[in-house]
Amino acid sequence: MLADLVADGDLVVLSGAGLSTESGIPDYRGETGRRRQARPMTYQTFVGSAAARRRYWARGHLGWRHIARADPNAGHHVVPELQRRGLVAGIITQNVDGLHQAAGARDVIELHGGLDRVLCLGCGRRSPRRDLHDRLNEANPGWRDESAAINPDGDVALSDERIESFRTVDCDRCGGVLKPDVIFFGENVPRPRVRECFTLTERAGALLVLGSSLTVMSGLRFVRHAATLDIPIAIINQGPTRGDEHALLTLNAPLGPTLSGLVRPSGR
């Protein structure tokens, strides 16, 4: 049934953190997320506390090295292949790791932004994360990664003592506070971006959810919207999701092998 839905074309993909676990990036609510017990930074805490920002950037500076080195997995590569075959009409991702694009996907809507960019809260300028990474290296010579416990936000666990020794930097244009260009918990996705996702969903021949528990409304709203329009929904995830009741098909299965079967030549 999954192959038939995909073959009909006009597929809109909605992906979540479970798609990237096979690339070594843990999710929030799946098995890897439960083991990590990650506590994500909220927007209110970040903007309201210099100490919180130092903690975020100290942990994120080391964690970014892991994210930047991560490679797309088999599941990521299937999506642009389906796109090349004219079967995928659009991609919405809740992920901030950029692995869809690294695999060759085009026109990806990053619902929650991307860790590869930095936003100045003062002047609004966006700049590459690699530039900030270089500046933080200069401000913190000898800073080394002593932790392998990367979290879903792209940071690592550090002791309070190490965090206190970390030096942050501000915008080199206006001196404003720098924030990763991602949507923190407690922060709203920009309305134009949400409208774009709703419009894409409304035009879908089918909605394919990949690796999302749909626990938060950010992604679930598009599943519910598709359901009200009688658009077929298929969900592939390791574990139950909040959208299962709306789905024509649910598969509790690993993403890479399952998706690879959609593009594997017959007879192999």
The answer to whether 260 is annotated as binding is no
Which member of 112, 133, 225, 246 is catalytic? 112
Q: Sheet of 178-182: strands edge to edge?
A: 126-128, 113-120, 178-182
Catalytic, 112? Answer yes
237 assigned to a ligand binding site: yes
Sign of the alpha-carbon dihedral angle for 36, 52, 170, 164: negative
Check the annotation: does 188 bind a ligand: no
Please indicate if the annotation marks 101 as binding a ligand: no
Q: Please, is 187 exposed, middle or buried when counting C-beta atoms within 10 Å of its C-beta (0-12, 13-18, 19+)?
A: middle
CA 166 from centre of chain: 26
26 and 151 in contact (C-beta within 8 Å)?
Answer: yes
Q: Is 211 annotated as a binding residue?
A: yes
140 assigned ligand-binding residue: no
Inter-CA distances, 160 with 4, 59, 63, 163, 166, Å: 53, 11, 16, 5, 10
Largest pairwise CA distance in the chain: 61
The answer to the question of whether 96 is labelled as a binding residue is yes
Q: Select from 204, 206, 263, 217 the least CA-distant residue to 243.
A: 217
Asked if residue 238 belongs to a known ligand binding site, the reply is yes
* Amino acid (one-letter) located at 147: S
Q: Tell me if 73 is assigned to a ligand binding site.
A: no
| 83 marked ligand binding residue | no
Cα–Cα distance measured from residue 20 to residue 148, given in angstroms and rounded to the nearest whole number: 17
Is 6 known to sit in a ligand binding site? no
Query: Residue positions in the annotated binding site for NAD(+)?
Result: 94-97, 211-213, 237-239, 255
Query: Residue positions in the annotated binding site for Zn(2+)?
Result: 120, 123, 171, 174
Query: Residue positions in the annotated binding site?
Result: 94-97, 120, 123, 171, 174, 211-213, 237-239, 255
| Active site residue ranges | 112
